[in-house]
Structure 1
């Protein structure tokens, strides 16, 4: 990469994003991986790297056809990232994290067929929309990406069963903001487990999705 080229600029943003999710407590240890789409290929964090210590040399290049390009060995979750870009064609960034509350809720039975998380706050509905639960498959397996492909309906984010979250966005900031919103909604769900909860009504949700352009299927 040379200074001023698209990959170099994207690499700097990826490294900054990695530090941000670690500082927010969303990426413990060397867990999690992030990527951006640049000129028909993706830059993704390498396997075994800590997102808080990412450097441009810790990034791998992968074609949208899955062909491995320059850099170190990519995160084993790269098929999952590729599937998210395939599903969500407007996405330019994907973030996969093992944040504590989202991971906890990923171990629970989903709230509905279309969303693991209920419409517990207007902000989840406004900023993310429905968050379906992807059936379990081993981390890094192609079957996990295949399971994501089979999830019905539209989505910008999902919980991976017994694993964590994956979010997409028009840029890294949007993808991270979605991950933050999911973690906050999941934290509320965990805190309220076992209690009777008043959720947003269908009318409330429909008004929010119409206003903010998100999706919530019933």
Structure 2
């Protein structure tokens, strides 16, 4: 099996898993992943994560030209901006996961660090998560907003829309996304309950031990 064939199958496997677990529904969400030759495989526009066809994934060459497959997601500006600003990114994942979206709508969220420091793993896998404003889906300005961060964030949430995560490979991106959604769920469950999160000293210890970008 070639590396590209395996990557195609992995994209469809993880997409189906996310869909089956209710992390994104209908025809929402999109995935891109780097191929060995520097190109990209991308989920097509209007496709459901529950029934992707590996042969129909959109394929871009290393210069960014669509060379085969269906038309890609209309949210390519998000993906392109992450690859341009985070040179180690090997995969980008965008979902419409319920709890992350819900948290983005609350009025007292810190836009520079929207996830409360409840667990070590959210810090380890995500760093600080930036809340970006609302954009009409497909608006190229989404890419501009991401580029303005200068690669300082591996995860953002589009207000009233959903989270976007970049990581070294597809599996790591999925795990980071799951952590984001679970932390958002915890934040909503504990809202108003006087929960005890990590102290600044505990956060610093995690950041230091796991070399987390936490500027």
Offset from partner CA, 1:32-80 (integer Å, 9 cap, x none): 0111011211100001111121111231023465432211110101111
- Paired with 2:162 and 2:21, the residues of 1 have a C-alpha distance of 16
Q: 1:34 aligns to what?
A: 31
Do the aligned partners of residues 148 and 109 (structure 1) sit closer, same or farther apart at CA in structure 2, a change above 3 Å counting?
Answer: farther
Given candidates 95, 115, 118, the residue that maps to 1:117 is 115
Which ranges of 4 or more aligned residues in structure 1 deviate by more than 6 Å?
none
Q: Is the 8 A contact 1:156 1:168 kept in 2?
A: yes
List gaps (5 residues or longer) in structure 2.
none
Task: Confirm or deny: 8 A CA contact 2:131 2:157 kept in the other structure.
Answer: yes
Counterpart position of 1:102: 100
Report 1:185-196 matches (<5 A): 185-196=183-194
Q: Where does the alignment leave 5 or more consecutive residues of structure 1 unmatched?
A: none
What is the CA distance between 1:24 and its match in structure 2?
A: 2.2
- TM-score normalised by length of structure 2: 0.92
Q: How does 1:1-218 map to 2 (within 5 A)?
A: 4-38=1-35, 39-63=37-61, 66-109=64-107, 111-151=109-149, 154-217=152-215
Q: Does the CA-based 8 Å contact 1:62-1:68 persist in structure 2?
A: yes
TM-score when normalising by structure 1: 0.91
SS at match of 1:69: strand
Q: Is the 8 A contact 1:63 1:69 kept in 2?
A: yes
Instruction: For residue 84 of structure 1, give the secondary structure of its aligned residue in structure 2.
Output: helix
Partner Cα separation in structure 2 for residue 151 and residue 113 of structure 1: 13
Please say if residues 82 and 151 of structure 2, whose CA atoms lie closer than 8 Å, have aligned partners that are also in contact: no
3-state SS, counterpart of residue 197 of structure 2: coil
Counterparts in 2 of 1:142 and 1:207: CA distance versus 1, 3 Å? same
Deviations 1:55-108 (A, max 9, x none): 112310234654322111101011111111112211111110001101111222
Work out the CA distance in 2 between the residues paired with 1:213 and 1:138: 35
